[in-house]
Chains A and B, each alone.
Chain A
Amino acid sequence: MTIGLLALQGDVREHAAAFADLGESVRAVRSPADLPGLAGLVVPGGESTTLSLLLGSSGLFEPLAELLVGGLPVLGTCAGMILLAGEVLDGRSDQRRFGVVDVTVRRNGYGRQLASFESELDVPVLGGGPLPAVFIRAPVVEAVGAGVEVLATLPGDGARAVACRQGRVLVTAFHPELTPDRRLHRLFVEMTKEERR
């Protein structure tokens, strides 16, 4: 099985390294020709406005949207979460989104770079102690729909959701790929295997 990494812009290499540590093979996705046969897809961190534009110009947006609506498992981190969200606040009006997870996110909701921070999260579904988390100009999850499972919240600030799952969609406001802890990527790999059964 092969996991596709959307490789138009952003921190693709870190996701590749995480899956390599888990013994999973990956494929860079830059055009529709790269899509057939994927067991899952990762939308990495980057600039969501740039990714949105390149998704359009590469011809990837429509076929990817079809695959995601059809149930292709997908992991979105930071900008990836924005692109997968149902509603985006403070984005550009022409910003594309797949709308496959029922959350409302606010772009750069924690502030500009000077407000970027590290934290440790309690993620019960992963087990085994706190998960290190890096938030870079991160989106804030403002609202979560009824079908969405909140996997982790950030202490304080009204305990906002920072990791969510809905069906085969896994999204985080932070960057699990920037730390050596592989538990979140392992959870996603398990989601792609459940899907194949």
Chain B
Amino acid sequence: MTDAARPDRPTGTFTVKRGLAEMLRGGVIMDVVDAEQAKVAEDAGAVAVMALERVPADIRRDGGVARMSDPALIEGIKAAVTVPVMAKARIGHFAEAQVLASLGVDFVDESEVLTPADEAHHIDKWAFEVPFVCGATNLGEALRRIAEGAAMIRSKGEAGTGNIVEAVRHLRSILGDLRRITTADATERYAWAKELQAPVGLVQEIAETGRLPVPLFCAGGIATPADASLVMQLGAEAVFVGSGIFKSSDPGRMAGAIVEATAHFTDAGLVAKVSTGLGQAMAGQEIGTLGVHLADRGW
């Protein structure tokens, strides 16, 4: 899909899609609902911002159908910051993704936080020049999304809860199975592909490399600097923070503290220092009390 006038400069290749994902490693991607929040995020050191109408905690509270944001909001956020701007499309809603691509967003999140538009099909992400990130709860789901063209995988966690337990479950499941596959012999890899319901070629690739073919980030429930340190130590390569920043009592400080803790995730002394006197983190929710489990969306 290269510009006919520039055959010597192919755009939208998997290398450039995955390349942007690689550049975000070690950073924090922050949910923002307007240009003012986007500035706070960039000032605090966000590597990218995720433009959406309501943070997941509010989507959860309000109920109803959650959709792609108003383009005016996305344009306002694009104009306010110099870092990459991501935006969410509903699972399977390729027309929303087309709109986001036409707005020139840098990454599309095909997200379970919005209400799914298709009960059987995710978006064919190879059909787009814009890169996609998709959520996954386990390795099979991650590999199916990669087979569809995703250039980044994130844990789903349980968005809007301020509870890290689900993201930890997803990371441990994905990374644990990755480690097990590296010890599988050639015959066992076929059985793994069957068990994971994933393409055998991708299973063979991860058996050789020991990692996903695209970066693995953590999302869902991160509310403190120590949460970020935890998931980075578990093997996440960067973090998304949704409600955790702008539902805290001092968003600018919380954002900066999570950036520091993500960059220096093995330095407990530094995490302690940036965690000191931060004010209230967002109020959290027990997973058992939830009416809707967003992570169950997608297949």
* Chain A residues at the B interface, C-beta cutoff of 8 Å: 7-14, 30, 45-47, 49-50, 53-54, 57-58, 78-79, 90-92, 107-108, 112-120, 134-137, 155-156, 175, 178
B11 within 8 A of A: yes
Contacting pair A50 B130 (CB below 8 A): no
Contact B130 A114 (CB under 8 A): yes
Other A-B contacts than A50-B47, A116-B19, 6 sampled, CB-CB below 8 A, are A9-B47, A10-B25, A47-B47, A114-B12, A117-B11, A136-B16
- Min CB distance B195 to A, Å, is 29
Q: Is the CB of A137 within 8 A of B25?
A: no
Kindly report which residue of chain A lies nearest to residue B237, judged by CB atoms. A13
A-B contact list, 24 entries, CB within 8 Å: A9-B263, A30-B264, A46-B24, A47-B24, A47-B48, A47-B83, A47-B84, A50-B46, A53-B259, A54-B45, A58-B263, A90-B82, A108-B82, A112-B104, A113-B20, A114-B101, A116-B19, A116-B20, A117-B16, A118-B10, A118-B13, A136-B23, A175-B19, A178-B19
Q: Which residues of chain B have a CB within 8 Å of any CB of chain A? A: 6, 8-13, 15-16, 19-20, 22-27, 42, 44-48, 82-84, 101, 104, 106-107, 129-131, 259-260, 263-264, 267
Q: What A residues does B22 contact at CB under 8 A?
A: 11, 14, 45, 178
Residues of B within 8 A of A115 (CB): 11
Bound-state Cα–Cα, A119 to B23, Å: 18
Assess whether A113 is in contact with B84, with CB atoms less than 8 Å apart: yes
The distance in angstroms between the C-alpha atoms of A5 and B82, with both chains bound, is 25
Q: How far is A161 from B265 in the complex, measured between Cα atoms in Å?
A: 37
Q: Please state if B46 and A118 are interface contacts (CB–CB under 8 Å).
A: no
Q: Is the CB of A46 within 8 A of B47?
A: yes
**Which among A10, A46, A114, A135 has the greatest number of chain B C-beta atoms within 10 A?**
A114
Contacts of B25 in A (CB 8 A): 9-13, 46
Tell me, in angstroms, the Cα distance from A91 to B42 when the chains sit together. Answer: 12
Contact residues in B for A134 (Cβ distance below 8 Å): 15-16, 19
- Which of B15, B104, B260 counts the most chain A CB atoms within 10 A? B15
Q: What residues of A have a CB within 8 angstroms of the CB of B19 in the complex? A: 116, 134, 136, 175, 178
Where chain A touches its partner, the secondary structure class is loop
**What chain B residues lie within 8 Å of A53 (beta carbons)?**
44-45, 259
Q: A118 and B48: CB pair below 8 A?
A: no
> Contact between A46 and B130 (Cβ–Cβ < 8 Å)?
no
Residues of A within 8 A of B10 (CB): 117-118
Q: Which residues of A contact B27 (CB under 8 A)?
A: 9-10, 46-47, 50
B114 to chain A, nearest CB (A): 21
Give bound CA distance, A78 to B16, whole Å. Answer: 13
How far, in whole Å, are A108 and B84 apart by their CA atoms in the complex? 10
Residues of A within 8 A of B15 (CB): 118, 134, 178
B82 touches A91 (CB 8 A): yes
Chain A: which residue is nearest B24 at the CB level? A47
When distances are taken between beta carbons in the complex, the residues of chain B under 8 Å from A9 are 25-27, 47, 263
Chain A residues positioned under 8 Å from B259 (CB to CB): 50, 53-54
Q: Is the CB of A114 within 8 A of B11?
A: yes
**A contact residues around B82 at 8 Å (CB):** 49, 90-92, 107-108
Does A12 lie within 8 Å of B9, measured CB to CB? no
Bound-complex Cα distance A14 to B44 (A): 26
Q: Does A137 lie within 8 Å of B106, measured CB to CB?
A: yes
Q: How far is the CA of A186 from the CA of B64 in the complex (A)?
A: 57
For A136, the chain B residues whose CB sits under 8 A away are: 16, 19-20, 23
**Cβ distance B84 to chain A, nearest Cβ, rounded Å:** 7
In the complex, are the beta carbons of A46 and B23 less than 8 A apart? yes
Asked whether B6 lies within 8 Å of A156 as measured between CB atoms, the reply is: yes
Contact for A119 among B8, B131, B263, CB less than 8 A: B8
A120 smallest CB distance to B (angstroms): 7
